[in-house]
Amino acid sequence: MLDTVDLARRIRRDALLMVHKAQASHIASALSIADILAVLYGSVMKYDASNSDLPTRDRFILSKGHACVGVYGALAEVGILSKKELDTYGLNFSPLMNHISHKIKGVEFSTGALGHGLPFGVGKALSAKINESEWKTFVLLSDGEMDEGSNWEAFMFAAHHKLSNLTAIIDYNKLQSLGSVDSTVGLEPLADKLKAFGWYVQEIDGHNHKEIFEALTIQNLNQPVVVIAHTVKGKGVSFMENKVEWHYKSPNQNQLAEALAQLESN
Amino acid sequence: MRDAFIAELTNAARENPKVVLVVGDLGYGVIEPFANEFPKRFFNAGVAEQNMVGLAAGLASEGFHVFCYSIANFPTFRCAEQIRNDVDYHNLPVTIVAVGGGLSYGSLGYSHHAVQDYALMRTMPNMLIASPGDPMEVRACMKYLIKNPQPSYLRLGKAGEKSIHLSIPKIIPGKPLIVKSGSSIEKVFISTGSPLAVVNDFLNQTTEARNISHFTMPLWGMGFKSTVAYELSAFQTVVTVEDHLEDGGFGSWILEAVNRIENNKPSIVINALDAKVCGMVGTQEILNEAAGLLDFKKCV
């Protein structure tokens, strides 16, 4: 088990460096999920860094594919990718594109269009059930993505088939593309909706590693599990937190230095 | 065609534990033999095609060959992005099966007219289109798909079509399959899908057509343009027949393919459905005629 707090810090650092170098978008979306990724890759998921295709590994799917720098950072920090590969992020013809790509070692599924990860994860979980395999499937979704009807189709199907080997995590940072989730298409009462859909629902602080760990390791035999992770978009860099504009902007040299300094002092 | 499909699928599932059937709450009176024999490999996804294809891709990513069965446009246009991103881009063995190709469900209205599906599927780089013309071609397509699991689209008619081939033919993507052999290299007919029977009947019963060969093409797609261009390069005129709109259809695919030939390209005469049929209702035969499909009779 890794020091997940330190791992989260390194994931944030990698993400900032990649986005700055490539002058890419979506840094705040990656900072929002860094703690969840750190706990998943640092202590919850079973995998072999030297054999990322190990059949018994747990499967992770990033449905909010625009936050890929968080996952690329995590994969590099745990040794599935090399740090050197991160330097190619956003370059012409690089497999490390600005939405997560299955062409990268350790990545199960390419996304970028929202509402695709959960149905795909349902298929993974179903296959484990057919094969009576022990591994689990984790799907990380955004809150804005919950607008997609395909997710609700998948919520219904997974509950009907009692896919207890499937965990959905909703990164509920309350901001989507043009403004707040509440002012776009409100999700509340989200927990009640998911309960009504037949899922085992947990609400946690998505930056508290103990809460994340407990929620993701709960033993549940009869239902799929959903974790509503209350998060802060841009978490860890004060001037990016809760700001819609950091869904789009890239840090300049000074902003990068300031952001990295904040990570070190936190 | 439906019955030949389910018979082949059930046979395949007996030998191949990786064959899975997922339906979009359709297939009453068709899918039961499979569902009853393999309940652990049969899923009804409900009326939810996006999730159906997404979960099929998930299953396929773990080694299953998944057949997604539904009607007309539901397993294609409704979930086009899932087919594009999840299945085709990841190059996963999911076969989309649409029953009611063309105007098979003519009386059910435009929602059930599958006359643009080739256009959608043709634009996906890894997609193999299987458009059999009779039950024997269905069986041939199924044998090919089971042996070569890949992103694929199987377009079926409905039920009760007569068999034109006497036995199950051997088929290769992009290679015309001979139905009626003639001596002329000036002109040949090539059809895909359900028009097989009507083209075959006409050519056999028309004295002026006795030298004209008739080919069918049950397996095709973006990856096989060079193959078909090579195969057709010896002919002067190729008459295509399909029950799909001209735009983005089979004839259009042939035209693009032969355009790659540098010298002496065959000329292509496309017989497809006129868009005026969109919105009309009636039997398949009546609508095909109204849409100008039978105009191929002027091409001998």
Total domain count, chain A:
1
Whole-number pLDDT of residue A2:
82
* Residue B140 sits in the same domain as residue B229: no
Of A69, A46, A42, which Cα lies nearest the Cα of A56? Answer: A46
Quickly state the pLDDT bin for B159 (edges 50, 70, 90): confident
Q: Which residues of A touch B (CB under 8 A)?
A: 102, 108-113, 115-116, 118-128, 130-131, 149-150, 153-154, 156-157, 161
Contacts across the A-B interface (CB distance below 8 Å): 91
On the question of pLDDT at A1 being above 80, the answer is: no
Quickly state the pLDDT bin for B160 (edges 50, 70, 90): confident
Domain residues for B261?
177-299
Tell me whether residue B166 is in a domain: no
Whole-number pLDDT of residue A221:
79
- Using one digit for the tens of pLDDT, what is the confidence trace for B227-266? 999 999 999 999 999 999 999 999 999 999 999 999 889 9
| CATH number assigned to the domain comprising residue A60 | 3.40.50.970
* Residue B269 sits in the same domain as residue B236: yes
Calpha distance B294→B282 (Å, rounded): 16
- Using one digit for the tens of pLDDT, what is the confidence trace for A201-219? 999 999 999 999 999 999 8
Q: What distance in Å separates residue B167's CA from the closest CA in chain A?
A: 36
- Using one digit for the tens of pLDDT, what is the confidence trace for B167-180? 999 999 999 999 99
Residues of B in contact with A131 (CB under 8 A): 62
On the question of pLDDT at B34 being above 90, the answer is: yes
* Residue B98 sits in the same domain as residue B206: no
Residues of A in contact with B85 (CB under 8 A): 110-113, 116
| CATH number assigned to the domain comprising residue B32 | 3.40.50.970
pLDDT over 90 for what percent of chain A?
Answer: 97
* Residue B45 sits in the same domain as residue B129: yes
* Residue B221 sits in the same domain as residue B145: no
- Using one digit for the tens of pLDDT, what is the confidence trace for A233-242? 999 999 999 9
Q: Judging by beta carbons within 10 Å of its beta carbon (0-12, 13-18, 19+), is residue A102 exposed, middle or buried? A: middle
Q: What distance in Å separates residue B123's CA from the closest CA in chain A?
A: 18
- Using one digit for the tens of pLDDT, what is the confidence trace for A39-68? 999 999 999 999 999 999 999 999 999 999
**What mean pLDDT do residues B281-298 have?**
94
Total domain count, chain B:
2
Quickly state the pLDDT bin for A220 (edges 50, 70, 90): confident
Q: Do B40 and A113 touch (CB under 8 A)?
A: no
Tell me whether residue B172 is in a domain: no
* Residue B146 sits in the same domain as residue B191: no
Domain residues for A157?
4-265
DSSP code for A180: B
Whole-number pLDDT of residue B158:
83
Calpha distance A38→A9 (Å, rounded): 9
Q: Do B85 and A110 touch (CB under 8 A)?
A: yes
Quickly state the pLDDT bin for B185 (edges 50, 70, 90): confident
| CATH number assigned to the domain comprising residue B294 | 3.40.50.920
Quickly state the pLDDT bin for A183 (edges 50, 70, 90): very high
Instruction: Answer with the one of B155, B190, B206 that is the final residue of a domain.
Output: B155
